[in-house]
């Protein structure tokens, strides 16, 4: 054995949404976020793998459509490929898209590093009746080719065996390139074809990086070839690099045409088994019953008709909750009983009762949908069409929104928060601690009005955690189903008003999960201008999951009109600001060319894992911040300056703004201070105030709008600084702060003048 073998590098590259991150997890055991839409990975992640006694560093990269980067995430991937000088390049490919795969392979070949080609998702390929001759493919490029299904770990062993046996690929276009360029990449020892394309695409920043990474001196022999690019040639005055590019592209297209014809096999395919017509109709019938049930229930609750879920709750309370009460009480398990079934007198809903209610609403919709998706290609095809056409897509979006509203607004923000905040923390834990801890400083710090437990932990664990948890769950299902990118089609025209295009819907929708993460996802957009506009809009008016949950929860407690007003106002401001920003910020709208991933049945394990990891991240990041913020409030409360405490001073200082301009009660100033520290902390404070009944409906609407438009939280701000720089970040905040208060005040006056909500 050689002493201390060097760490080798393996880079995973491939088109977007082909399963690089899923393979990464299998190879390294480290979790990288996996979803069914292009652009989930915007940064590189690294992990470790030991194979046959050799240690490898595995690098996961964002998806690329080609090696000529056109957005920030693609640039990251291309740079890594050039900088890291990998020992093995593993190209991960969607097996059913052979042509695109090979086009990228042709470019990777020029780098002349050992390669392995992974044909992933062979199950989907076979279901569509396609088969690829992997041996012929391996021979064509002279590299190992492995078939896998990354989500199930199929073919992993073959991949592990192939990585150490990776070989430098043959370049099938060698002759053509020599003809066009005068020399081949092998002779020049440079990825010549790629260099010519980089020159043509004309991103100077990337060109400079390429020069740096490849070395100026190495480029000098081919410089005459590149210098041509500015000189006009022929009576068309085309740049030389463009004609070279077109000639190369032409050769590539010809090669691909041939290759696809010879490599594809037909006949051995195993298309998906179709449901019998009877079964198909039965499941479709069930699905429509599910929709009917949902509509009946939603309308029924508004107009106090009898609805299935209300019956069910009454039945549960009468026949299960009441008879068991004595049993639980006898065993001194009052608390458990209350958490499970709620209090029959107060109509407060227990966790168990709520779970049954939500299941009754969700199951008749989700079960037939998933069964049909899995077993019927016909349905999958139909569903794909329905979700992207406005006539059917908008009602489907409506149903999805109602389901999310039920899950996050009711189950999360009402029932779970009720059980945790009112019952567990409010009625048991905090009073018990108060009685245990002798009054004095410690008492004040832990369980006083601004106590670390009575406020900080209660807000974090009892209000925000259930809201965010249910949201992440719902969001995970939507992400993995491949539904979200379809919204891009429906929203393209609206987003064009704001100088963006349909692609920008992805960061916007992700912003509903967490604006901080979404701000990073703006990297998938094509131009710096679009990134700036999207970042501004995210910071301005996209409520994050906690805020959204609080809005949904408050709206569920007051009236749906609150919800529509808040969303209507915020959405109109987004469009307005976006439209103005598009006029002010120079530049052109970029092309909308966007790949739709196939719809898939989400895998429960992936969703649960993803939700759990997001929650763990959330707890790690949020709880300390909440405690810190609470301590700050506590100190302000303890600090006495003259007749008032620090908080009272601030409330006094903000009085003209909060009471005078927004017409909110003076104590809501606290909410805005909390909002500075974290968006969701402010939302939680507002939720708390609303639950105490301290606000009128108009005040609720004004406060919700203001706090939604209000500045981004600290974490989001720091990410904006990182992505856009200090000047732009401060400018964004400098715009948003007065703007949010202005809109809030105007809205309040308008509502009062119209006499709405009174």
Q: Which residues bind another protein (CB under 8 A)?
A: 15, 65-66, 68, 70, 94, 96-100, 103-104, 124-125, 128, 130, 197, 200-202, 232, 234-238, 242-243, 245-247, 249-250, 252-254, 256-257, 384-385, 388-390, 488-490, 492-493, 501-502, 591-596, 598
Q: How far is the CB of 479 from another protein (least distance, A)?
A: 18
* Distance set, CA 216 to CA 220, 364, 714 (Å): 6, 64, 42
- How many residues make up the chain in this entry? 758
Q: Which two tokens stand for residue 122?
A: 């062979």
Closest to 403 measured CA to CA, from 360, 463, 361 = 361
Three-state DSSP at 33 gives coil
Nearer to another protein, 125 or 701 (CB): 125
Nearer to another protein, 118 or 740 (CB): 118
Q: How far is the CB of 40 from another protein (least distance, A)?
A: 17
Q: What are the phi and psi torsion angles at 414 (to 5°)?
A: -95, -65
Nearer to another protein, 142 or 598 (CB): 598
In the numeric block, the tokens 């299902």 are attached to 477
Nearer to another protein, 65 or 663 (CB): 65
Could you report how far apart the first and last alpha carbons of the chain are, in Å? 83
b or e along 208-218 (b: 16 or more beta carbons within 10 Å of the residue's beta carbon)? ebbeeeeeeee
Give the Cβ contact number of residue 555 at 10 Å.
Answer: 23
CA distance 49 to 162: 14
Nearer to another protein, 180 or 662 (CB): 180
Indicate the burial class of 388 (C-beta count within 10 angstroms; 0-12, 13-18, 19 or more): middle
Q: Which two tokens stand for residue 488?
A: 């891009």
Q: How far is the CB of 237 from another protein (least distance, A)?
A: 5
List CB contacts of 114: < 8 A, sequence separation 6 or more: 87, 88, 89, 143, 166, 167, 168
Nearer to another protein, 527 or 545 (CB): 527
Nearer to another protein, 247 or 355 (CB): 247
Q: How far is the CB of 70 from another protein (least distance, A)?
A: 5
Q: How far is the CB of 300 from another protein (least distance, A)?
A: 34
Nearer to another protein, 178 or 749 (CB): 178
| Helical residues (DSSP H) of 331-375, grouped into ranges | 334-341, 351-375
Q: Do 685 and 486 contact (CB within 8 A), yes or no?
A: no
Q: How far is the CB of 96 from another protein (least distance, A)?
A: 4
Nearer to another protein, 578 or 675 (CB): 578
Q: How far is the CB of 79 from another protein (least distance, A)?
A: 18
Q: How far is the CB of 257 from another protein (least distance, A)?
A: 5
List CB contacts of 87: < 8 A, sequence separation 6 or more: 8, 9, 10, 56, 113, 114, 166
List CB contacts of 230: < 8 A, sequence separation 6 or more: 239
Q: How far is the CB of 596 from another protein (least distance, A)?
A: 4
Q: How far is the CB of 406 from another protein (least distance, A)?
A: 28
Give the Cβ contact number of residue 545 at 10 Å.
Answer: 27
Three-state DSSP at 2 gives coil
| Helical residues (DSSP H) of 459-559, grouped into ranges | 465-481, 487-497, 505-511, 515-521, 528-541, 545-557
Q: Do 190 and 214 contact (CB within 8 A), yes or no?
A: yes
Q: How far is the CB of 475 from another protein (least distance, A)?
A: 22
* Distance set, CA 149 to CA 26, 33, 275, 596, 649 (Å): 11, 17, 24, 20, 62
Closest to 144 measured CA to CA, from 121, 125, 165, 129 = 165
Nearer to another protein, 345 or 588 (CB): 588
Nearer to another protein, 408 or 487 (CB): 487
Q: How far is the CB of 225 from another protein (least distance, A)?
A: 16
Instruction: State the DSSP code for 82.
Output: H
Nearer to another protein, 256 or 569 (CB): 256
Nearer to another protein, 200 or 515 (CB): 200
Closest to 582 measured CA to CA, from 494, 711, 508 = 494
Q: How far is the CB of 487 from another protein (least distance, A)?
A: 11
């Amino acid at each position: 054995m050689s002493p201390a073998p060097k760490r080798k590098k393996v880079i995973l590259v491939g088109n977007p949404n082909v399963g690089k991150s899923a393979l990464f997890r299998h190879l390294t055991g480290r979790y990288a976020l996996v979803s069914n839409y292009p652009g989930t990975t915007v940064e590189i992640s690294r992990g470790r793998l030991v194979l046959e006694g050799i240690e490898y560093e595995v690098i996961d990269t964002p998806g690329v459509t080609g090696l000529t980067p056109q957005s920030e995430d693609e640039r990251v991937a291309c740079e890594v490929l050039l900088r890291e000088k990998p020992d093995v390049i593993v190209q991960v490919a969607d097996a059913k898209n052979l042509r695109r795969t090979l086009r990228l392979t042709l470019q990777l070949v020029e780098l002349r590093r050992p390669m392995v080609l992974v044909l992933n998702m062979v199950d989907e390929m076979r279901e569509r009746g396609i088969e690829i001759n992997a041996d012929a493919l391996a021979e064509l490029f002279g590299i190992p080719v492995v078939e896998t299904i990354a989500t199930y770990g199929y073919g992993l062993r073959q991949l592990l065996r192939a990585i150490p046996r990776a070989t430098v690929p043959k370049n099938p276009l060698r002759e053509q390139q020599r003809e066009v360029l005068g020399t081949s990449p092998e002779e020049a020892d440079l990825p010549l074809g790629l260099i010519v394309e980089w020159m043509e695409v004309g991103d100077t920043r990337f060109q400079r990086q390429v020069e740096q990474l490849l070395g100026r001196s190495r480029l000098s022999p081919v410089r005459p070839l590149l210098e041509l690019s500015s000189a006009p040639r022929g009576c068309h005055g085309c740049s030389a690099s463009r004609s070279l590019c077109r000639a190369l592209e032409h050769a590539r297209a010809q090669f691909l045409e041939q290759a696809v014809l010879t490599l594809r096999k037909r006949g051995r395919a195993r298309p998906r088994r179709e449901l019998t017509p009877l079964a198909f109709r039965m499941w479709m019938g069930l699905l429509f019953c599910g929709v009917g049930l949902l509509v009946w229930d939603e309308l029924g609750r508004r107009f106090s008709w009898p609805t299935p879920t209300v019956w069910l709750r009454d039945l549960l309370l009468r026949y299960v909750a009441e008879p068991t009460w004595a049993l639980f009480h006898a065993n001194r398990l009052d608390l458990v009983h209350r958490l499970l079934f709620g209090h029959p007198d107060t109509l407060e809903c227990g966790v168990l009762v709520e779970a049954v209610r939500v299941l009754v609403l969700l199951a008749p919709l989700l079960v037939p949908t998933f069964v049909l998706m899995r077993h019927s290609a016909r349905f999958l095809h139909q569903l794909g069409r329905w979700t992207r056409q406005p006539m059917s897509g908008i009602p489907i979006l409506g149903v999805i929104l109602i389901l999310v509203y039920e899950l996050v607004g009711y189950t999360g923000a009402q029932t779970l928060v009720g059980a945790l905040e009112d019952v567990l923390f409010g009625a048991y834990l905090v009073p018990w601690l108060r009685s245990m801890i002798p009054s004095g400083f410690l008492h004040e710090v832990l369980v006083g009005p601004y106590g670390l437990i009575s406020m900080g932990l209660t807000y974090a664990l009892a209000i925000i955690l259930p809201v965010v948890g249910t949201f992440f769950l719902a969001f995970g299902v939507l992400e993995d189903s491949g539904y979200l990118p379809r919204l891009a089609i429906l929203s393209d025209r609206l987003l064009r008003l704001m100088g963006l295009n349909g692609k920008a819907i992805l960061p916007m929708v992700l912003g509903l999960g967490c604006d901080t993460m979404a701000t990073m996802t703006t990297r998938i957009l094509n131009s710096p201008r679009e990134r700036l506009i999207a970042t501004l809009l995210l910071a301005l008016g996209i409520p994050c999951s906690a805020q959204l949950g609080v809005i949904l929860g408050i709206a569920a407690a007051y009236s749906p009109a609150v919800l529509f007003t808040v969303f209507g106002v915020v959405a109109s401001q987004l469009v307005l600001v976006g439209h103005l920003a598009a006029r002010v910020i120079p530049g052109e709208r970029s092309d909308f060319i966007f790949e739709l991933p196939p719809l898939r049945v989400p895998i429960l394990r992936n969703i649960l894992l993803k939700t759990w990891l997001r929650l763990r991240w959330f707890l790690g990041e949020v709880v300390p911040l909440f405690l810190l913020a609470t301590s700050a409030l506590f100190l302000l409360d303890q600090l006495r300056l003259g007749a008032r405490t620090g908080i009272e001073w601030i409330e006094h200082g903000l009085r003209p703004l909060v009471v005078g301009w927004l017409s909110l009660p003076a104590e809501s100033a606290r909410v805005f201070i909390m909002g500075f520290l974290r968006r969701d902390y402010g939302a939680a404070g507002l939720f708390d105030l609303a639950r105490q009944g301290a606000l009128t409906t108009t005040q609720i609407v004004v406060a919700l709008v203001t706090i939604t438009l209000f500045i981004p939280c600290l974490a989001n701000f720091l990410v904006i600084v990182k992505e856009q720089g200090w000047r732009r970040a401060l400018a964004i905040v400098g715009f948003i702060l007065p703007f949010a208060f202005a809109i809030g005040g105007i809205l309040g006056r308008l509502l009062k003048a119209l006499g709405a909500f009174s």
